């Protein structure tokens, strides 16, 4: 999950454990450009301390003023940016609007239980009834960060997005750096000693396990990305075979269209259904005309990010462009 939200949960639990009153603000809807996404959290202590963010700062100041005047005893649904004056005052983009739920944390807020589940590597859904302030935890976790119907708020929490990259080559270095900047937990599977010796990306975990063993150890879920980046089918295919059987969000491998088709035919020889094989993204990434490892890494991360955000990208060109032409290093 977003590391900022994790910090908010930890601080809110610490404050309430110390007897400090806390109001938790959750972004439930946005229109137009927004500094923070739906599901973003802000915790405001009774003494004015705060952690997290729901905007660029002006809304936080208004919330502090609001809570100094009157701290709510029940959850409230508030909206910013209704009028042009509010849009100017709070620095929202033209036409922007932001909806929040303000929740005064009661004795049964269950944030400690939520946090414990997250730290065990579990996905957790927390449901808040705005009319009563009652909170319970759900086994069925939605794909969206928040689900809000005006009466009930369901927030999904869990491990941040993870990426397993097969191979510790130059492309993998840039891919890992992009992924780390986007708050992925990055693991590199590299059984080849000559590649491991030159690996220098702080924050990424390097394992000597074979790619299939690395996939099994990772236990991919719907917040997991697996990328084969070695050009060596003896390594990439090992990871792909196991990853395509899981709930992994995105499974891809570098290679030209021709190589990708040959890979699909090889994968069908194993215990994979046609549906499993159809989930493979290959050639991986968007055709950005890339020619260098950083550009190829950007193309891969851009495709994953668009799909995470539910955006369908349509590439238009005067003529068909092969992946070898669009990204020669992928050929």
When pLDDT is cut at 50, 70 and 90, the band that residue 318 belongs to is very low
- Mean pLDDT over 70-81 rounds to 89
Which contacts qualify for 88-93: CB closer than 8 Å, 24 or more apart?
Answer: 89/58, 90/55, 90/58, 90/59, 90/62, 91/55, 91/56, 91/57, 91/58, 92/32, 92/55, 93/32, 93/33, 93/34
- Distance (Å, whole) CA 153 – CA 150: 8
- Distance (Å, whole) CA 78 – CA 260: 50
Highest mean pLDDT among 70-79, 118-127, 225-234: 225-234
Domain check: are 174 and 304 in the same one? Answer: yes
Domain check: are 186 and 303 in the same one? Answer: yes
Structural domain total, the chain: 2
- Mean pLDDT over 188-216 rounds to 95
Domain check: are 150 and 210 in the same one? Answer: no
When pLDDT is cut at 50, 70 and 90, the band that residue 21 belongs to is very high
Q: Match 């993204």 to its residue by tokens.
A: 281
- Distance (Å, whole) CA 286 – CA 289: 9
Domain check: are 260 and 324 in the same one? Answer: yes
Burial (CB < 10 A; 0-12, 13-18, 19+), residue 97, is: middle
* Residues 168 and 205: beta-carbon distance below 8 Å: no
pLDDT score of 202: 93
From residue 26, give the alpha-carbon distance in Å to each of 47, 82, 118: 20, 18, 18
- Mean pLDDT over 2-30 rounds to 92
Per-residue b/e over 27-44, b at no fewer than 16 CB within 10 Å?
Answer: bbebeeebbbebbbbbbb
When pLDDT is cut at 50, 70 and 90, the band that residue 86 belongs to is low
Domain check: are 270 and 297 in the same one? Answer: yes
pLDDT score of 92: 55
* Residues 173 and 296: beta-carbon distance below 8 Å: no
Q: Could you tell me the residue range of the domain that residue 309 belongs to?
A: 162-330
- Distance (Å, whole) CA 121 – CA 320: 44
What pLDDT, in 10s, does the model give residues 46-70? 999 999 988 766 788 889 988 888 8
Domain check: are 150 and 173 in the same one? Answer: no
CATH number at 320 reads 3.40.50.720
Domain check: are 137 and 266 in the same one? Answer: no
Q: Which of 157, 185, 204 is the last residue of a domain?
A: 157
From residue 223, give the alpha-carbon distance in Å to each of 25, 186, 306: 25, 12, 14
Q: Which of 131, 157, 183 is the last residue of a domain?
A: 157
Domain check: are 194 and 309 in the same one? Answer: yes
Domain check: are 37 and 145 in the same one? Answer: yes
pLDDT score of 173: 97
Q: Which of 139, 157, 175 is the last residue of a domain?
A: 157
Phi, psi of 172 (to 5 degrees): -60, -35
pLDDT score of 58: 72
> What is the pTM for the complete model shown?
0.65
When pLDDT is cut at 50, 70 and 90, the band that residue 98 belongs to is confident
What does 221-244 look like in DSSP terms, one character per residue? -TTEEEEE-SS-HHHHHHHHHHHT
Q: How high is the mean pLDDT of the chain?
A: 88
- Distance (Å, whole) CA 287 – CA 296: 9
Domain check: are 219 and 121 in the same one? Answer: no
40-44, 198-202, 204-208, 307-311: least confident range = 307-311
Domain check: are 133 and 234 in the same one? Answer: no
State yes or no: pLDDT of 107 exceeds 60.
yes
Altogether, the residues listed in the chain come to a count of 331
Burial (CB < 10 A; 0-12, 13-18, 19+), residue 228, is: buried
- Distance (Å, whole) CA 183 – CA 162: 9
Domain check: are 183 and 323 in the same one? Answer: yes
State yes or no: pLDDT of 329 exceeds 50.
no
What pLDDT, in 10s, does the model give residues 224-279? 999 999 999 999 999 999 999 999 999 999 998 999 999 999 999 998 999 999 99
- Distance (Å, whole) CA 103 – CA 280: 42
């Amino acid at each position: 999950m977003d590391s900022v939200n994790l910090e908010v949960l930890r601080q809110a639990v610490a404050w309430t454990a110390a007897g400090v009153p806390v109001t938790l603000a959750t972004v439930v809807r946005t229109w137009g450009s927004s500094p923070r996404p739906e599901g973003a959290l802000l915790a405001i202590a009774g003494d004015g301390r705060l952690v997290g963010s729901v905007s660029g700062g002006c809304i936080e100041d208004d919330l502090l003023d609001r809570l100094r005047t009157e701290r709510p005893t029940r959850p409230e649904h508030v909206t910013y940016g209704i009028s042009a004056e509010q849009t100017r005052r709070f620095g929202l983009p033209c036409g922007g609007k932001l909806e929040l739920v303000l929740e005064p944390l009661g004795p049964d807020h269950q944030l400690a239980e939520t946090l414990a589940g997250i730290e065990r590597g579990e996905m957790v859904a927390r449901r808040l009834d705005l009319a009563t302030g009652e909170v319970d935890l759900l086994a069925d976790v939605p794909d969206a960060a928040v689900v809000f119907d005006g009466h009930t708020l369901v927030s999904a929490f869990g491990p941040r997005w993870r990426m397993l990259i097969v191979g510790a080559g130059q492309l993998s270095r840039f891919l890992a750096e992009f992924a780390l900047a986007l708050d992925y937990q990055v693991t590199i599977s590299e059984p080849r000693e000559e590649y491991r010796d030159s690996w220098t990306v702080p924050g990424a975990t390097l394992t000597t396990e074979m790619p299939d063993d690395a996939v099994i150890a990772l236990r991919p879920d719907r917040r997991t990305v697996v990328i084969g980046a070695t050009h060596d089918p003896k390594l990439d295919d090992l990871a792909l075979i196991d990853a395509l059987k899981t709930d992994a969000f995105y499974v891809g491998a570098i290679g030209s269209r021709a190589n990708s088709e040959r890979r699909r035919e090889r994968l069908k020889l194993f215990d994979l259904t046609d549906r499993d094989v159809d989930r493979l993204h290959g050639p991986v990434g968007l055709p950005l005309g890339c020619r260098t490892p950083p550009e190829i890494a950007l193309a891969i991360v851009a495709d994953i990010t668009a799909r995470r955000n539910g955006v369908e990208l349509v590439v238009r060109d005067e003529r068909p462009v092969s992946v070898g032409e669009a990204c020669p290093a992928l050929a």
